Chains A and B, each alone.
Chain A
């Protein structure tokens, strides 16, 4: 497993705006996963993108993956106050299904 590094560390936007957060990793992966954590709660899986995919959508979420640059981005469109949370990426090398999480991006969506 390897650690994904999220950027920026914190992001503050207004409701209705789009939020983009980025993830970089170091070695080859089988897939990359994004999780959300509401304050003090458990992580919730959002989306998984496989190494042979370049883009994936789920509702207001759009994830891209560039394996040549070892990077991924998560776009949340038309943000809502309920999207306020920390977001983590987790590269999965496929070895023992161990995921290593970075420190996350803290997203604050204000009314």
Chain B
């Protein structure tokens, strides 16, 4: 089983719809991250969380919100999806005390907003 699991793997939605992407991990890491990847732009950080009570904005948080329901779960929501949020979304985890800042990624969610 994957250590970092993202659901759904693919999603097509319409403009204006609310959508939630979910991430769960079995690595026992405190830190979790959400990125988006667009062709030619690399990965950009949306939000990150160091524990259940600590959530921080990344470089492109506008239009997104997150919820850290438990150490193992970190969800990303698009309150009102728009076409330019079409992208590949990745969740990642880390534990600097054990792995020196290395991040472990899920397989990604491909989101299309029509």
Residues of A with Cβ closer than 8 Å to B?
1, 3, 30-31, 33, 40-45, 48, 50, 88, 90, 92, 94, 96-104
Contact = CB atoms under 8 A, between A and B. Distances in A.
Contacts of B33: 98
Interface in B13-39: 31, 33, 35
A96 B32 CA distance: 11
A31 B101 contact: yes
**Which 6 pairs between the two chains have the least Cβ-Cβ distance?**
A42-B105, A101-B43, A103-B42, A43-B105, A101-B42, A45-B102
B42 A88 contact: yes
Interface of B: 4, 31, 33, 35, 40-43, 45, 48, 50, 56, 58-59, 88, 90, 92, 94, 96, 100-108, 110
A48 B104 CA distance: 13
Among A44, A94, A99, the most chain B Cβ lie within 10 Å of the Cβ of A99
Contacts of B88: 40
A40 B40 CA distance: 13
Contact of A97 (B31, B42, B43, B90): B31
23 contacts: A3-B42, A31-B101, A33-B102, A40-B110, A41-B107, A42-B92, A42-B105, A42-B108, A43-B43, A43-B92, A43-B105, A45-B103, A48-B100, A48-B102, A88-B42, A92-B101, A97-B96, A98-B48, A98-B58, A99-B101, A101-B42, A102-B42, A103-B40
